[in-house]
Amino acid sequence: MATAGKNVAPPVASAPQPQKRWSRLRALKRVVQLGAVGAVGYGAYDIYNKRHPAEQKPFDPTKRTIVLLGSGWGAISFLKSLNTDDYNVIVVSPRNYFLFTPLLPSCTVGTIELRSIMEPLRFITRHKSRNVKFYESECTDIDPESKTISIADVSDIKGAVSNTTIPYDYLVVAVGADNQTFGMAGVREYACFLKEVWDAQKIRTRLMDCVESAGFASQTPEEVERLLHMVVVGGGPTGVEYAAELHDFLKDDLEVWYPELADKLKITLVEALPNVLPMFSSQLIQYTESTFKQNKIEVLTKTMVKEVADKEIKVMDANKNMVSIPYGLLVWATGNCPRPLARKLMARLKEGGQNSPRGLLIDEYMRVKGAQDMYAIGDCAFTKYAPTAQVATQQGKYLSRVFDGLARIEEGQNKKIHPFEYTHQGSLAYIGSDRAVADLPFLNGNVSVGGVATYVFWRSVYISHMFSFRNRFLVIGDWMKSKVFGRDVSRE
């Protein structure tokens, strides 16, 4: 108690502050810990759920049957979002997995292993409420009048029955697109594409073949120069990202294990347009080209390939001169064209309005023009949107909502189906040396960024868009493994 007549010093107000600060830090630490525990818990739940799927309902003869052709972005997005309580579903595809194609360039040099970006289809179909039948086969023909498809077993080992027909009530065509060669002779024989698993395997094998052959005893200097010249045709995201991954492989690994050859390896990117990455802003195009120049990747714009042979290509350069370019490895990434099945269907539906050579014409509800109860999504469809993974993914999700609406209408509900609206979420590309570029929508405009921070963002976006915790775990593990131990330089 204070004594009258005496001055008592007031309590020190600053003393509790450190305690408050530490309490906030402890709270933040607790939030981080809980987040980590939650992430681990979610991962454990996802792993358990994948390994212990619930019992499924059998096919219901009273339900309509949807036949889905394909296992790419559009097809898997549709399948994952579709309520199979309303329909019987049959999936037909020559491959029994989904492939995360944006990371395929990383697989060509061993940064990521192929199995890490593959998701088996049965991991998806087995977790639907109703049994989904899957046939690993190629659809060879579509008959819109009888509403049947013909399928063929194209595997190396076949059973007693390898061809059959399947009826459908609704058909969803999501077969993707083929590689655009412009009808040029020699492309399919001598070049490597970059669309499928076997393409990445082929590139990886040929790359190491070129390096090892260049180091062969008494190899001539001219042949060493040719073997170590890697040419990429196409300046879109696929071509740019492959050239970037190849540069990283050279700097991080070949210089260590092949020091006598590393300084002789050359990368050339050939593009017919005035610049690379034409879908990006001019600022990011300049940044990409300057980065390539720093990384000693030669970029030949306004240059068209005229001939392709087994050891060289002939191009017309910006000055209209014909130039011969010897190569050891040629990667062709020039865009898409319709697959044979799509072309056959387009010819059959020509009188119904299928008059575009670039793909199946569809309306704003994904319905194929000239056909009844037939839909098309992804790269096989020709629309005003670019043939990208995010377009196909949004189309697949939208189409699942369309079928949900059709099911509700059949039940007598007043359900309105709205036309498809695409929402652009931005464009990303890796350009090498731990740098990436991004064109991102912001308010009423775009934000263009590039650099190391964008590279971290690029990786986080790809990880977040993977279809399962398993794939995320494997890819992150591959990134860590290649950073710690380096890429595998053995020939497969």
CATH number where 231 lies: 3.50.50.100
Residue 219 is assigned to a structural domain of this protein? yes
Q: Which domain holds residue 361?
A: 64-177+338-410
The residues with which 297 forms a beta bridge, in sequence order, are: 267
Q: Residue 8's pLDDT is what? A: 42
Distance CA 338, CA 176 (A): 8
Is 90 in the same domain as 209?
no
Residue 297 contacts residue 309 (beta carbons within 8 Å): no
Tokens at residue 186, please? 């020699």
Q: Residue 26's pLDDT is what? A: 61
Q: How many domains does the chain have?
A: 2
Residue 72 contacts residue 176 (beta carbons within 8 Å): yes
Distance CA 6, CA 9 (A): 10
pLDDT in tens, the chain (492 residues): 444 444 444 444 444 455 555 555 565 556 555 555 555 565 676 777 777 888 999 999 999 999 999 999 999 999 999 999 999 999 999 999 999 999 999 999 999 999 999 999 999 999 999 999 999 999 999 999 999 999 999 999 999 999 999 999 999 999 999 999 999 999 999 999 999 999 999 999 999 999 999 999 999 999 999 999 999 999 999 999 999 999 999 999 999 999 999 999 999 999 999 999 999 999 999 999 999 999 999 999 999 999 999 999 999 999 999 999 999 999 999 999 999 999 999 999 999 999 999 999 999 999 999 999 999 999 999 999 999 999 999 999 999 999 999 999 999 998 899 999 999 999 999 999 999 999 999 877 789 999 999 999 999 999 999 988 999 999 999 999 999 999 998 876
Residue 126 is assigned to a structural domain of this protein? yes
Residue 271 contacts residue 299 (beta carbons within 8 Å): yes
Regarding beta strands 138-143 and 148-152, do their DSSP bridges make them parallel or antiparallel, or are they unpaired? antiparallel
Tokens at residue 459, please? 């990786």
Residue 37 is assigned to a structural domain of this protein? no
Is 79 in the same domain as 169?
yes
Q: Residue 443's pLDDT is what? A: 78
Q: Residue 53's pLDDT is what? A: 84
Is 394 in the same domain as 362?
yes
Q: Residue 52's pLDDT is what? A: 82
Domain boundary residue, one of 410, 428, 461: 410
Is 194 in the same domain as 261?
yes
Is 193 in the same domain as 297?
yes
Distance CA 316, CA 160 (A): 52
Q: Which residue has the tokens 């790269």?
A: 379
Q: Residue 398's pLDDT is what? A: 98
Residue 217 is assigned to a structural domain of this protein? yes
Residue 251 is assigned to a structural domain of this protein? yes
Q: Residue 42's pLDDT is what? A: 59
Distance CA 384, CA 395 (A): 13
Residue 447 is assigned to a structural domain of this protein? no
Distance CA 464, CA 471 (A): 10
For residue 152, the tally of other CB atoms under 10 A from its CB is 15
Nearest to 89 by CA among 169, 30, 194: 169
Is 284 in the same domain as 369?
no
For residue 306, the tally of other CB atoms under 10 A from its CB is 12
Residue 469 is assigned to a structural domain of this protein? no
Tokens at residue 153, please? 């077993």
DSSP string for residues in 195-229? SSHHHHHHHHHHHHHHHHHHTSTT--HHHHHHHTE
Distance CA 91, CA 72 (A): 12
Is 329 in the same domain as 192?
yes
Distance CA 19, CA 248 (A): 49
Q: Residue 180's pLDDT is what? A: 95
Is 77 in the same domain as 138?
yes
DSSP letter (8 states) at residue 86: S
Nearest to 368 by CA among 175, 178, 177, 173: 173
Domain boundary residue, one of 336, 367, 393: 336
Q: Residue 417's pLDDT is what? A: 94
Q: Residue 15's pLDDT is what? A: 46
Residue 268 is assigned to a structural domain of this protein? yes
Distance CA 170, CA 410 (A): 14
Is 117 in the same domain as 233?
no
Domain boundary residue, one of 293, 310, 336: 336
Distance CA 16, CA 276 (A): 60
> What is the pTM (predicted TM-score) of this model?
0.88
Is 78 in the same domain as 106?
yes
Judged on CB neighbours under 10 Å (0-12, 13-18, 19+), 434 is middle
Q: Residue 34's pLDDT is what? A: 56
Is 242 in the same domain as 367?
no
Nearest to 432 by CA among 302, 324, 218, 288: 288
